[in-house]
Structure 1
């Protein structure tokens, strides 16, 4: 039971830090994200520093993970084993990029931005959940 409490507490703490970082960096503002993606217009390069910082932190985390036998609150790491670049990966990446460019959100910031209460955020999250549900129902049924 203590292990479950520690796992939940660690997940909650991670989520709070992640949400605070998204808010502080401006990733909850879809106009700012779209400004970053508009490289041929009024480009806003500030989010490049956010992305660079995220890559640096992730790099350090992966290097630390490689030296550990198992995570602090689990028996094993849950790392994807498939490293192939195939059609579903490319199509999914393109759809993700289109959604990010059109809506100005990706899933994490969209969920965090629900706290702001903007109607377009709610529409985006509902559409995202519908898309995820359709994917699970349709794609998992393929041979």
Structure 2
């Protein structure tokens, strides 16, 4: 059973989103996604300063099984990337919601967060696969 955390928002393409106290959002892939991928061997994150629209390709995660695109769940500007993943991509497998985050954004429209899935909605997505 995948770890699906109630305090996060989700998208059906298996990214999670956490609203931070400063108004930024942190984005990564879900426990279900990292488990499906297997051992992560490479992560490509967007560059700081990149403006992304909701649904834009924001990076790539590669595992021993497959490569998958990472998408921006909302619109905004990339304000930080997790540099740990450059040398230790396996962190995504070990801690997908904490140390294995991918990037942070400053949302251009915070109301886009309201359209994302809650934990129950994401559970339905996972259960239907």
- Specify the TM-score bucket, using the shorter chain as the normaliser: under 0.3
TM-score (norm 1): 0.22
Tell me which protein shows more helix as a share of its residues: 1
Tell me which protein shows more strand as a share of its residues: 2
Higher relative contact order (CA 8 A, sep 6+): 2
Q: Which is higher, the Rg of structure 1 or of structure 2?
A: 1
